[in-house]
Amino acid sequence: MGEIFDKIFHMTALDSLIDQPQFLIMYALAFLLLYLGIKKEFEPLLLVPIAFGVLIANFPGGNMGVLAAVDQTVNGILYHNAITLADGSIWCNADGIPYNIYEVGLPQIAHDLGIMNFLYYALIKSGLLPPIIFMGVGALTDFGPMLRNLKLAIFGAGAQFGIFAVLLVACNFFTLPEAASLAIIGGADGPTAIFTTIKLAPHLLGPIAIAAYSYMALVPVIVPLVVKLTCSEKELRINMKQQDKLYPNKTEFKNMRALKIIFPIATTTIVAIIVPDAVALVGMLMFGNLIKEIGNNTSRIFDAASNAIMNSATIFLGLCVGATMTVEAFLNWTTIGIVAGGFLAFGFSIFGGIMLVKLMNLFSKKKINPLIGATGLSAVPMASRVANNIALKYDKSNHVLNYCMSSNVAGVIGSAVAAGILIAFLG
């Protein structure tokens, strides 16, 4: 009888949990993220799958944690992209030679390493899902406000300052590809951060994705904080509509529909020529937008891109990213560095956008509210909504939402271009 109970005990995960209580920390993290996603509604579409991925990846024996491929030396011979299994042994063939995971078929990965590794190596590590999500984002984005206020789009570049500034700091503590993956959090764009990390430092994917989405969810806290530290009340009272009346924009729009159709094609061409490494993201973003703007003739694929495909991609992206956060991958000083560095990158990006507005206001008669620079991040449309609320606090007639959307949407392009540059130089 005792033997049966002993066997049942070993069959459960309780045995391993007692041996390795650090798993409990991962459960606490998963529960916290679930709470933030469900109760506090912080980016629930992504935080809930990520949190659940963390949870299921950390049950000993569940075979759901993503195993990182790293170069390993066995008996003095270097093996590329070898996999260390949960029990510490290396995944080998019948002759005892470690597998290179990229030379193994997906069915064998699913069979030997579990379904989550199959999904991770097929969908994430291949770099497939972030561009697919960008296509959906493009299908949901309206470039109209940007076309109506084209000049303001430049702040989408100013707000990429945080990425490169934090790269300067982080390179003292991380390798350059790792530092670049951390710094891209400053772009405030989850898929871009994931895409860059997959290319440059895939072993940091979990913490970087979590930090990126957490800070994006904290935009309503971080933007007001940086604005309060850097802007005067006089600047925040700059009324954009009054400025438009004083210095009217003479641009006429005689055919906005044609403009919106040509714009994604033109933007893709420009970006493809200058930064080819950014085309996977910008190209798919613009493709999604194009099928939206064409209208009835492409409404079926627009519907697929913005609903079914994007939602499926979001589920798998979230679960797989969460499943990379195993005890070994998460509970270390690197993660703490990423969390701190990500916050700095985010803050510096907002700061960069604000400073560019201030600089332009020095030389221009038509003044711009610095909040429009603060929204050069690509957290669309949350950053714009937050900025609009701040403007309304100081002047109830100062609706800056449409102006902010210009720099905000430009920020999506800016951060994708910045990612392309980092991948081109460090990938």
The site for another protein (CB under 8 A) is made up of 147, 150-151, 153-154, 156-157, 160-161, 163-165, 167-168, 171-172, 175-176, 179-180, 251-259, 262-263, 266-267, 270-271, 274-275, 410, 413-414, 417-418, 421-422, 425-426
DSSP 217: H
Smallest separation, CB 380 to another protein (Å): 16
User: How many Å apart are CA 60 and CA 360, to the nearest integer?
Assistant: 57
Q: Which is nearer to another protein, 171 or 339 (CB)?
A: 171
CB of 158 to another protein, least distance (A): 8
Residue 244 amino acid letter: D
d(CA 160, CA 355): 12
Cβ proximity to another protein, 369 vs 407, nearer residue? 407
> Contact 357/372 with Cβ under 8 angstroms?
yes
- The least CB distance from residue 390 to another protein, in Å, is 24
Token output for 171: 């390179």
Distance CA 291, CA 312 (A): 19
Residue closer to another protein, measured from CB, 43 or 293: 293
> Residue 174 CB, nearest distance to another protein (Å)?
9
Q: What value does the CA radius of gyration of the chain take, rounded to a whole number of Å? A: 24
Nearer CB in complex with another protein: 155/215: 155
Tokens of 63: 């075979």
Residue number, 166 or 401, with CB nearest to another protein = 166
Contact between residue 282 and residue 156 where contact means Cβ atoms under 8 Å apart: no
Structure tokens at 174: 């991380």
Min dist CB 368 to another protein, Å, is 15
Gap between the Cα atoms of 113 and 120, Å rounded: 11
Task: Give the residue with the Cβ less far from another protein, 225 or 424.
Answer: 424
321 or 419: whose CB is closer to another protein? Answer: 419
Quick one: tokens of 279?
A: 């085309």
What phi and psi, each to the nearest 5 degrees, are found at residue 206? Answer: -55, -60
**Least distance from another protein to the Cβ atom of residue 422, Å:** 7
- Tell me the closest approach of the beta carbon of residue 68 to another protein, in angstroms: 23
Q: What is the DSSP letter of 59?
A: S
